[in-house]
Chains A and B, each alone.
Chain A
């Protein structure tokens, strides 16, 4: 193998598994250390810069970082990254004084943002501070988009959402709320320099062909519409017996909301096996905790309506069968169909994009599924003034993805407005600083604690099920937050190897608790992986390779389960190993990168 080029920021970025997995590449270990130091404001600001909605995401993020967390590969469970973010948001001081203060000198450019969800709000924040005049349109009375209409208040209190939406609106955004945009042509005819479309995936998927759908319509609701109606307090009750169809996070929100609006026997019925449901495991746990059974392997057959009144639904029992390629098919178990009683049914089987308001003669190309053709890097459409982001660009994902796409959309808009090439993306901000303080002293807590993952305490069920606004999770207190933060392995503190200094004494090899390091003859990667002290089988993790040493060997380090404990560097008599903090931050629109 060739020596690893550690000057390429992406090499060490990949070692920080959580940050790499995060769509917005939030510097996770950096803010977790700040939380451990009780510097909540600073931790919040690192988040705010990167993911814009720390308080919201600290409660509701899909957490792609946690399955990626290195700790999950050596310990039972990953660090509770998401809920630590909430600790920063809950305990922060005055963050507003650390934010850019409006008004900003104008650059004379105007941008329209359609839909006030996380993607558009991110674009607004990034562009406002560099002088753009932003016009934000939304059909609802306040901003937030699906964060407001889809996420129930018992998971995300309105105050938290309002606070973080307002940080952005206070940057001098021109809001056009209660304004449904029915024609993109009309928007384009105004003198906007660019238009960003962040209208989400607003259409709930229905089951229109199922028998009884029409007859029972009064008691059959589309999940996302129903959640929105609850959020805006148009809907305040539901029948005692409720069936929720679907196995995603929306289904989980529907069933838990139904429990709070008078649903006593709420059941989730899902086609797939329990294990394969799309809902996050913790959301399924929370539903179970509220006495909601999840009935899997049941395919809906019909709505049963008697005398114009919905009585329940018929289901066919199925089982999952997999072919050679692992493709799943649901086949009938052969038994009789099952009847489940219901006063109301909530359909949460998916959501779709819908662009009835975009005229098809504006130079915006749509594919055969009715989705706009969007560049995956620049988020530009085929009309050079129009950009897409969030669920509107590539279908339903999640808040953090929408934020990440918003950042990139903002960069593209800025590049376009300043006549630059959209494909030349700004380099990330990168910094490497040695953590050495003394022979056995580091500027970070190198000791690896053995604690299991701490559980987030919840409010009493008696309270939460009777008050829809009562937040279920209480969040970590200071002490637990500190303990959980200490579980972080500091993967951003990199083990940096200097070949010239190495005397090949083997001290690092001997001390490494997880047998990462091997001194060996060089070979091609596939061979080298098998030649290591413990063969490196996790191909998603790189091998760090040095240049040739005096004995003609190389140092090869499997990054896979490195604990970043610093023992290799402590045991190195010549400081050939150093623990070096790597800070990587995605550059935002109009900002200069720095190495």
Chain B
């Protein structure tokens, strides 16, 4: 019996710019089922944060309830964490973000936590363009309560006990684009070469970034007939483009054929470099992104990669013109500027 991770690491691990090796970004050993897609996504988060040179104390990880929402325990032991009430992660994230603009917010949720109990919170955090990364580990079932169909289970998908799902599924990516999310991507837990650059780009995005990751439930939803099994997803994945996130100040060395490549410039000078595979699709155009997702769906394909991005957006802070400084750094003199200031304000209101 183990559940104990040896302390030894590969002696040739490379340090990032902060001097940390990747294991500094690890969390506790996962207690999810062997082969769970969620563990791969956790590994992707760890890899992305390591490569992005994120100072662990500058990141807050938040979640609700569910298998996926156990993730904050399994990643980034040295970061802030909040395991909130079921489906209520967005409000906690909103509160935390408004109180402290300096942190990076990483929310992890599942299809139940987002598309069922948390739907009301989810749609509102999107339309407010809160500056955070919201990852859904989407396995189409309620794994923690033994595998009932969730709201994202596809119509016609067969579950482990042989029942066919009768209801329309909620397509979280389309919904996010519809509601005005400023960064929307879709990926698969079994494809880290795509997932890690997407997480990096999303962490760098200055508004609400949403990644819907298909993450097979090996225990309850990896059977023949399921549309969220490893085999099915592998056979039906279609990528918009290969994705590479190029940080600021890095020379672009990759060259692609004329016409197929696109560089999306981010607010800070970094790039998302896309080698396009999908036709008639422009990641900067909401309508074409919407079309691409729906067309793929109609064909029975799962469109992955970056779907839509609006790099020049205003996040909730900018819109509300709230304090740039974290509230915990405001002193008494900031908060009580004195009677002279009060006089000035009163004069304005005359």
Contact surface of A with B, Cβ cutoff 8 Å: 73-75, 439-441, 446-448, 450, 503-507, 509-511, 513-516, 534-535, 537, 550-551, 561, 563, 565-567, 570-574
Contacts and interface: CB of A to CB of B under 8 A. Distances in A.
Given A503-B230, A504-B230, A572-B34, A565 B2 contact: yes
Contacts of B39: 506-507, 510-511, 571
Interface stretch (B8-16, B304-312, B317-325): B8-16
Nearest to B40: A506
B10 A573 contact: no
Contacts of B10: 514-516, 534, 561
Contact of A514 (B9, B42, B189): B9
B34 A503 contact: no
Contact of A534 (B3, B13, B23): B13
Contact of B2 (A504, A550, A566, A572): A566
Contacts of A550: 234
B35 A571 contact: yes
Contacts of B190: 504-506
B227 to A, nearest CB: 16
A573 B218 contact: yes
A74 B8 contact: yes
B298 interface: no
B12 A450 contact: no
A534 B29 CA distance: 21
B192 interface: yes
15 contacts: A450-B6, A504-B234, A505-B37, A505-B218, A506-B43, A507-B35, A509-B43, A510-B40, A513-B7, A514-B9, A515-B10, A515-B13, A534-B12, A561-B11, A567-B2
A97 B233 CA distance: 63
Contact of B34 (A504, A507, A514, A515): A507
B218 A510 contact: no
A71 to B, nearest CB: 9
Contacts of A570: 2, 34
B102 interface: no
B231 interface: yes
Contacts of B234: 504, 550-551
Given A504-B190, A510-B42, A513-B23, 10 more contacts: A74-B9, A440-B3, A441-B1, A447-B2, A505-B190, A506-B43, A506-B190, A507-B35, A511-B39, A567-B2
A504 B233 CA distance: 12
B65 to A, nearest CB: 23
Interface residues of B, number: 34
Contact of B12 (A440, A516, A537, A565): A537
A516 B11 CA distance: 12
Contacts of B30: 511
A441 B42 CA distance: 25
B131 to A, nearest CB: 28
B40 A505 contact: yes
Given A550-B234, A551-B234, A561-B11, A448 B34 contact: no
Contacts of A506: 39-40, 43, 189-190, 192
A566 B5 CA distance: 10
B216 interface: yes
Contact of A574 (B4, B9, B35): B35
A534 B23 CA distance: 13
A448 B35 contact: no
A573 B34 contact: yes
B2 A505 contact: no
Q: Interface residues of A: mostly helix, strand, loop or mixed?
A: loop
B85 interface: no
A561 B6 CA distance: 12
Nearest to B39: A510
A350 B9 CA distance: 42
A507 B36 contact: yes
Contacts of B8: 74-75, 448, 513-514, 561, 563
A402 to B, nearest CB: 35
B33 interface: yes
A361 to B, nearest CB: 58
Contacts of A565: 2, 6
Contacts of B192: 506
A551 B191 CA distance: 11
A446 B2 contact: yes
Q: Select the residue from B1, B8, B36, B192 with max chain A CB neighbours within 10 A.
A: B8
A318 to B, nearest CB: 36
A503 B229 CA distance: 10
Nearest to A440: B1
B84 to A, nearest CB: 25
Contacts of B2: 440, 446-447, 565-567, 570
A496 B1 CA distance: 19
Nearest to B41: A510
A551 B1 CA distance: 32
Given A505-B216, A506-B40, A510-B43, A563 B6 contact: yes
A551 B30 CA distance: 26
Interface string B219-236: 000100000001100100
B288 to A, nearest CB: 29
A513 B34 contact: no
B3 to A, nearest CB: 7
A378 B51 CA distance: 56
B11 A503 contact: no
Nearest to A514: B10
Contacts of B3: 440
Given A561-B11, A574-B35, A507 B5 contact: no
B5 A513 contact: yes
A41 B43 CA distance: 46
A211 to B, nearest CB: 52
A563 B7 CA distance: 10
Nearest to B216: A505
Interface string B35-70: 111011011000000000000000000000000000
Q: Select the residue from B3, B6, B23 with max chain A CB neighbours within 10 A.
A: B6
Chain A to chain B: the 10 pairs with minimum beta-carbon distance, closest first:
A573-B35, A448-B6, A510-B43, A74-B8, A573-B218, A505-B35, A506-B40, A514-B10, A573-B34, A440-B1
Contacts of A563: 6, 8
A69 to B, nearest CB: 13
Contacts of A571: 34-35, 39
B74 to A, nearest CB: 10
Contacts of B216: 505
B161 to A, nearest CB: 19
B40 A507 contact: yes
Nearest to A520: B193
A73 B13 CA distance: 13
Contacts of B5: 511, 513, 567
A86 B234 CA distance: 55
Nearest to A439: B34
Nearest to A505: B35
Contacts of A514: 6, 8-10
Interface string B266-307: 000000000000000000000000000000000000000000
A493 to B, nearest CB: 13
Contacts of B43: 506, 509-510
A448 B2 CA distance: 9
A503 B231 contact: yes
Interface string B16-34: 0000000100000110011
A570 B1 CA distance: 9
Contacts of B218: 505, 573
A579 to B, nearest CB: 11
A73 B12 CA distance: 11
A551 B233 CA distance: 12
Contacts of A513: 5-9, 23
Nearest to A503: B230
Contacts of B12: 534-535, 537
A563 B9 CA distance: 9
Interface string B115-137: 00000000000000000000000
A209 B150 CA distance: 93
